Structure 1
Amino acid sequence: MRKLAVTLALTLAASPALATGLEIDVAGAANGTITVDLFEDVAPNHVAQITTLAGQGAYDGVAFHRVIEGFMAQTGDVQFGKDGADAGMAGMGGSDLPDVAAEFSDIPFARGVVGMARSQDPNSANSQFFIMFAPGDFLNGQYTVVGEVTDGMDVVDAIKLGTGGNGAVVGAPDRMVAVRVTD
């Protein structure tokens, strides 16, 4: 049994990493590129989900549909967030991939941290994610941290704000025009 465990550990250690990050080109009120370092060692299943969707081009053209000043900018609804989709449904969809079980960590939700959006069910994350404008300690241990912005926080800060308590963006939202997986 020990030999099997050692062999498995060596196989896993030799396996290539999923990805190291994302480059997100944004257009609208904000224009530029956001660079994200993904934490595949902290949330491997969530990172695999995001990189799979990005690799398929699923995030290209998706709106930042929920943007709350001093809190976060949310995007990633590949079902309803694309240009031409029912904007009133943005934020209620996901992808064709299965939901991902929570991978909570002790990494705090600080400015620039990227987390996975979900419903009330902690195991319901799918395609949507958010970027923090400011610390949100109340999210710690409640949502999965998947990475952090390493460049382009000025672009994040310029994303068109939503209105009301839920931060719904009215009119033309900013969009992720292209999302690339980086090594």
Structure 2
Amino acid sequence: MLRNVLTALCTLAAGPALAGGISITVADGEGAEKGVIQIDLLEDVAPQHAERISSLAAAGEYDNVVFHRVIDGFMAQTGDVEFGEAGGNTRMAGRGGSDMPDLPAEFSDVPYDRGIVGMARAQSPNSANSQFFIMFDEGYFLNGQYTVVGRVTEGMDVVDAIKRGTGPNGAVVGAPDQMLSVTVTE
């Protein structure tokens, strides 16, 4: 018994184990489910970014966060856990992050193909925090500029059905689609 307690304490002290991926249940602006997106987090490519997404998902931080910037033929962006909660005032969505520090860039040679998940950031390459985006189509101009953190393995039809933005810079007008729930997968 004592051995099990010590093992559990050592595991907690070491921090959360990196997960294999996340499962995102997408809903429309009214909360009706649209489907599920499965994402394989690429721990070997971007370990700090994969751990950040996994940790925020495990803590429930991504639940009910909107897709605030969606550009047809390009990508759908979400993950603003500070300003992006559905049902609230999402006018500031895209400007916030988590209460954790920003992450240093983990650039790789993984190209921005359709279904790749990248970390959003401000002007500094070392400013990614909680926001991420999913590619509708290839965007090779992003290669080496933004950290690749994952890849959609199931549910690209759900990604393709995310409500598009029509406002400035892809801002979604009206009630945007949302990540109803985000869970960690093995």
TM-score, with structure 2 as normaliser: 0.88
1:103 aligned partner: 106
Q: The residue matched to 1:179 in structure 2 has which SS?
A: strand
The residue identity in structure 2 corresponding to 1:38 is L
Question: Residues of 1 paired with 2:113 and 2:83: CA distance?
Answer: 28
1:59 aligned partner: 62
Q: The residue matched to 1:78 in structure 2 has which SS?
A: coil
1:38-58 CA-partner distances (Å, limit 9, x unpaired): 100000000111111000000
Residue pair 1:77, 1:95 contacting (<8 A) in 2 also = yes
1:85 Cα deviation from its structure 2 partner = 3.1
1:126 aligns with 2:129: yes
**Equivalent position to 2:42, from 29, 39, 42:** 39
Residue pair 2:40, 2:152 contacting (<8 A) in 1 also = yes
1:164 Cα deviation from its structure 2 partner = 3.9
Taking only aligned residues, the RMSD between alpha carbons, in angstroms, comes to 1.6
Question: Residues of 2 paired with 1:60 and 1:82: CA distance?
Answer: 8
Question: Residues of 2 paired with 1:175 and 1:57: CA distance?
Answer: 14
Percent identity reads 68
Matches for 1:1-183 after TM superposition, within 5 Å: 18-28=18-28, 31-183=34-186
Greater alpha carbon shift after TM alignment, 102-111 vs 30-39: 30-39
Residue pair 1:17, 1:40 contacting (<8 A) in 2 also = no
1:104-140 CA-partner distances (Å, limit 9, x unpaired): 0000000000000000000000000000000000000
